[in-house]
Structure 1
Amino acid sequence: MRKVSVALNPEAVIGETDPRLFGAFVEHLGRCVYGGIYEPGHATADAHGFRHDVLELVRELAPTIMRYPGGNFVSGYNWEDGVGPAEKRPRRLDLAWMSTEPNTFGTNEFIDWCRLANIEPMLAVNLGTRGGDAARNLLEYCNHPGGTAWSDLRRAHGWEQAHDVKFWCLGNEMDGPWQMEMKTAEEYGRIAIEAAKMMKWIDPRIELAACGSSGRNMPTFGAWEDTVLQHTFSHVEYISLHTYVNNYADDSAALLASPDLMDGFIEEVVAIADSVAARAHSSKRIMLSFDEWNVWYRTRRNADVRVKPGWPVAPEILEEIYNMQDALAFGGMCISLLNHADRVKTACLAQLVNVIAPIMTETGGPAWRQTIFHPFAQMSNYGRGRVLRAEIDSPTYAANYYDPRGKADLYFPLPAVPYLKMAAVEDPASGAITIFALNRHLEEPMPLDVALRGFGVPVLIEALELRHADLKAVNTKDQPDNVSPAPLAGVTLATDRVQATLAPASWNMIRISR
Structure 2
Amino acid sequence: MTHARIAIDRDFTIADVPRRLFGSFVEHMGRCVYTGIYEPGHPQADERGFRTDVLELVRELGPTVVRYPGGNFVSGYRWEDGVGPVGERPRRLDGAWHTIETNAFGLHEFVDWAGEAGVEVMEAVNLGTRGVEEARALVEYANHPGGTAWSDLRRRNGAADPFGITLWCLGNELDGPWQIGHKTAHEYGRLAQETAKAMRLVDPSIELVAVGSSNRQMPTFGTWEHTVLTHAYDEVDYISMHAYYQEHDGDAASFLAEAVDMDAFIDGVVATIDAVKAAGKHRKQVDISFDEWNVWYQRGLDTDDQPHIVSASKQWREHPRLIEDAYNVTDAVVVGTFLHSLLRHGDRVRIANQAQLVNVIAPIRSEEGGPAWRQSIFWPFARIAKLAQGRILRLAVESSQVPTARFGDVDAVDAAATWDEEAGTISLFLANRSLAEAGDVAVDLRGLAATGVRSAEVLTVPGDGDRLSANVETDQERVGLVPLRDVGLDDGTLRATLPPLSWAAVVLDVRRA
Structure 1, unmatched stretches of 5+, are 401-412
Which whole-Å CA distance do the structure 2 matches of 1:201 and 1:472 have between them?
A: 52
Which residue is 2:8 aligned to? 8
Which residue is 1:437 aligned to? 430
Which residue is 2:502 aligned to? 506
- Give the 3 Å change call, closer, same or farther, for CA 504–301 of structure 1 in structure 2: farther
AA aligned opposite 1:95: G
Cα deviations by residue, 1:335-382 (Å, 9 ceiling, x for unpaired): 101111110000000000000000000100000001100010011011
Which whole-Å CA distance do the structure 2 matches of 1:302 and 1:137 have between them?
A: 37
Which residue is 1:192 aligned to? 192
Structure 2, unmatched stretches of 5+, are none
Which residue is 1:123 aligned to? 123
Equivalence map 1:47-446=2 (5 Å) = 47-298=47-298, 303=303, 305-306=306-307, 309-400=314-405, 413-446=406-439
Q: Which stretch has the larger CA shift, 316-325 or 306-315?
A: 306-315
State the TM-score, normalized to the length of structure 2: 0.96
> Any idea what SS the aligned residue of 2:67 has?
strand
Does the CA-based 8 Å contact 1:298-1:320 persist in structure 2?
A: no
Query: CA RMSD for the aligned pairs?
Result: 1.2
Which whole-Å CA distance do the structure 2 matches of 1:393 and 1:467 have between them?
A: 23
Does the CA-based 8 Å contact 1:263-1:336 persist in structure 2?
A: yes
Q: Which stretch has the larger CA shift, 302-311 or 162-171?
A: 302-311
AA aligned opposite 2:389: R
Number of corresponding residues: 502
AA aligned opposite 1:414: F
Does the CA-based 8 Å contact 1:297-1:320 persist in structure 2?
A: yes
Cα deviations by residue, 1:154-177 (Å, 9 ceiling, x for unpaired): 000000000000000000000111
Which whole-Å CA distance do the structure 1 matches of 2:383 and 2:152 have between them?
A: 42
> Any idea what SS the aligned residue of 1:11 has?
coil
Cα deviations by residue, 1:212-231 (Å, 9 ceiling, x for unpaired): 01110000100000000011
> Any idea what SS the aligned residue of 1:456 has?
strand
AA aligned opposite 1:465: V
Does the CA-based 8 Å contact 1:436-1:507 persist in structure 2?
A: yes
> Any idea what SS the aligned residue of 1:381 has?
helix
AA aligned opposite 1:309: K
Which residue is 2:485 aligned to? 489
Which whole-Å CA distance do the structure 1 matches of 2:203 and 2:282 have between them?
A: 24
Cα deviations by residue, 1:475-509 (Å, 9 ceiling, x for unpaired): 01121110010000021114432101011100011
Which whole-Å CA distance do the structure 2 matches of 1:396 and 1:301 have between them?
A: 36
> Any idea what SS the aligned residue of 2:317 has?
coil
Which whole-Å CA distance do the structure 2 matches of 1:399 and 1:182 have between them?
A: 36
1:398, distance to aligned residue in structure 2 (A) = 2.9
AA aligned opposite 2:497: T
Q: Which stretch has the larger CA shift, 352-361 or 453-462?
A: 453-462
Does the CA-based 8 Å contact 2:2-2:438 persist in structure 1?
A: no
Which whole-Å CA distance do the structure 1 matches of 2:131 and 2:167 have between them?
A: 18
Which residue is 2:469 aligned to? 473
- Give the 3 Å change call, closer, same or farther, for CA 494–397 of structure 1 in structure 2: closer
AA aligned opposite 2:255: L
AA aligned opposite 2:454: I
Which whole-Å CA distance do the structure 2 matches of 1:377 and 1:218 have between them?
A: 31
Does the CA-based 8 Å contact 2:2-2:412 persist in structure 1?
A: no
Which whole-Å CA distance do the structure 2 matches of 1:326 and 1:396 have between them?
A: 20
Moved over 6 A (4+): none
State the TM-score, normalized to the length of structure 1: 0.96
Which whole-Å CA distance do the structure 1 matches of 2:134 and 2:2 have between them?
A: 60
Does the CA-based 8 Å contact 1:18-1:345 persist in structure 2?
A: yes
1:61, distance to aligned residue in structure 2 (A) = 0.1
Which residue is 1:405 aligned to? none
Does the CA-based 8 Å contact 1:458-1:494 persist in structure 2?
A: no
AA aligned opposite 1:462: S
Does the CA-based 8 Å contact 2:450-2:508 persist in structure 1?
A: no
